[in-house]
Amino acid sequence: MHSLVIVESPAKAKTIRKYLGSGFEVKASMGHIRDLFPTKLSVDVNHDFEPAYTVIKGKEKLLQELRDAAAKSDRVFLATDPDREGEAISWHLATLLGLDLNQKNRVKFNEINKRSVLAGIANPSEIDVDLVNAQQARRILDRLVGYKLSPFISQKIRRGLSAGRVQSVALRLIVDREEEIAAFKPEEYWTIGAVMYAPPAKRQIKAEFVGDENGKIDLHNEEETNAILARLEDAAYSVKSVKKGVRSRTPAPPFITSTLQQEASKQLGFTAKRTMRIAQELYEGVEVEGVGSVGLITYMRTDSLRISEESRADGNAYIREQYGERYLPEKPRYYKSKANAQDGHEAIRPTTVSLTPEAVKSSLTGEQHRLYTLIWRRFIASLMANSVQDTVKAEIIAEQEGRDGYILFAASGYSVRFDGYTALYDDAAEEAGAALPEMKDGNRIKLRDLNPEQHFTQPPQRYTEASLIKMLEETGVGRPSTYATILSTIVDREYVTRQSKKSLAPTELGVAITHLLEEKFPKIVNTKFTAGMEADLDKIEAGGYDYVKMLHSFYDEFEETLKKAKSSMEGVKIQLAEDVTDIPCEKCGAMMVVKVSRYGKFLACPNYPACQCTKPFVKPTEGKCPVCGGDCVSKKTRHGRVFYGCSNYPDCRFMTWDTPTAETCPKCGKTLFRSRGNKLKCLDENCGYSATGNKKENEG
């Protein structure tokens, strides 16, 4: 018997092929093979949102290969990813290949190893139509919003803009935060720190002013602070109370998609898109020396904290062998997933615990190894015993002779009684405070230094990718599988820029889009409304909600809102300050503005149609033309490839693919250009200077 197995990627096909052996042919669909038409709405809003699908351009030959392979096979298994998108890909494949949707030909596995693959093949199921309908509903919703709303904002602000059902909410969160920062008014406050010691011990004690005999005191200005300092002159210090305790720290659960993206951003500096790309590679399979092609982690799109008992046993065995029995908790630890979590997959974990980061390092790229190390350590640590710390909190009073009352300081510290899981993975910054010296009530304390300090309250911080993902997750906007796409979209379209320290700041364009949507389409950028739609999609997936009914409930109101917006803004155009240049129009003198056509940006007179003067839009660089000394400008071919030419074109026809730099040639003083091979060179044909790294070559 000959069987065909269809997966999504060549890497996954290669890994699975070695587990199945003879009798099985494994082919890749290369992701989706059919989708909505790219150049039209492809959704019949008058007939219950019937979608019109077409084979994706360029995949016709692949589809024919799959049809030929299916025709000569006794059985076809659809082994695409185990989520909504994967289910939809299988459904499209089944339809295109003429398979019976009632036949059990759908294969799922959460991890790609021999045991899981063989178990999946042995236990196929029917395609889950509810899961497919949930994916279709999401795809149609996104198409309706994108194709109806994007032309509107493009017409009112700038050609070529897009609005997305979820990306618009993410953008609004960033814009709202920026406006909070701009409106923030700092308030003054003061603190008084003290450095002390408890004779005969010389160990330093760091304490903070708390208040006085009447309770806590907040210091708002220098005058209030000086009043406290006056009460501390020549004061005697002593211990008022010492409280000892024990605290236990529990390890964080294994990763889900959102927490993996957050932690990879914080610890490794990876964008969400980069994290998901690397995780996909680790899931689908890599060549490990001495093992062969193997999937190193379980499926990376999940919001469930569940792990299999088999993986728990493997992890426990590793901990027992490497650390000892006491590093295991008395009872197995089970983490509870969020109420709206989809429990179809496990948490993200290594498929084979014995394949430690050290064991596979030589077989992975640097970024693969860093991410795998993060996943592996987090999983093992989640199974380990708690960390136990001994804590001490001391109250220290300062009293002036002959004066009633006292000034109160507080100091705290800890020492580690048992490191537990932190021996492998410390997932939280320790609280400030080293171990305090032994003290008892009434002990005399010596003061070394007082440090009054002025502070001002700080505005809220801009979102980073990690904190924005956390907010999207908390508000129920989007799903873990969509976060990376959302973030890359708003950055790529220049609605948001990445600042220093990985923070996200909206551009003027992003602010303008958000304000327009807030005014005319408030529900589109409302977090609760968008989260409610996500909840409806979950209901469709569970079989409890008709997806056509859900689409009607959204679109009927949306269409009416769009009509009102078009009517109220007829003839209105929003001009962005960033689009106004300092280049005067050659005909009327008005400052030209940046416009966008299907071929890219160009300069146009703002007095159009009275004045129809236009000019090419060129982006200046740091370099000068080596031929005539004019500005070197960045241009694009009709296919979008960047090249560099002279601003005096067509009088000067210099052009190059090499990138101009701010550095000058040590021989002739002209601009140096950097080639793709990272070679600096002078493009003056009479000079010929070049340099690679620190090695300099004086040619000619």
Handedness of CA 210, 212, 216, 222 (dihedral sign): negative
Tokens 């129920």 sit on residue: 476
Asked if 603 and 616 count as a contact pair (C-beta separation under 8 A), the reply is yes
Taking the C-alpha atoms of residue 133 and residue 540, their distance in angstroms, rounded to an integer, is 7
Query: What six digits make up the tokens of 319?
Result: 């901990």
With contact defined as beta carbons under 8 Å apart, do 2 and 23 qualify? yes
Please state, in angstroms and rounded to a whole number, the distance separating the CA atoms of residues 675 and 656. Answer: 10
What does the buried/exposed string (b/e) look like for 131-161 if buried means 16 or more CB atoms within 10 Å of the residue's CB? bbbbbbbbbbbbbbbbebbeebbeebbbeeb
Residues of the chain by 3-state class (helix, strand, coil), percent to 5: 35, 25, 40
The answer to whether the beta carbons of residues 298 and 346 sit under 8 Å apart is yes
CA atoms within a 13 Å half-sphere pointing along the CA-CB vector of 214: 3
Integer Cα distance of 342 and 306 in angstroms: 10
Distance between CA 394 and CA 230 in Å, rounded?
Answer: 23
Closest CA to 578 of 545, 550, 601: 601
Peptide linkage before 609 cis (omega within 30 of 0): yes
3-state secondary structure of 310: helix
Rounded to a whole number, what is the largest CA-CA distance in the chain?
103
CB 618 within 8 A of CB 635: yes
What gap in Å lies between CA 269 and CA 222, rounded to an integer?
A: 41
**Residue appearing with tokens 């052996």:** 21
List Cβ neighbours of 342 (8 Å cut-off, separation of 6 or more): 302, 303, 304, 538, 541
Residue 650: asked if its preceding bond is cis (omega within 30°), the reply is yes
CA dihedral 635, 639, 641, 642 (to 10 degrees): 10
At 56, list the tokens: 């994706």
What positions carry a catalytic annotation?
299
β partners of residue 206: 195
Pairing of strands 75-78, 3-7: parallel
Asked whether the beta carbons of 145 and 167 are under 8 A apart, the reply is no
Q: Is the dihedral of CA 369, 370, 375, 381 positive or negative?
A: positive
Selection from 333, 332, 279, 335 nearest residue 305 by Cα? 335
Angle between the N-to-C axes of helices 483-492 and 272-284, in degrees from 0 to 180, rounded to the nearest 10: 140
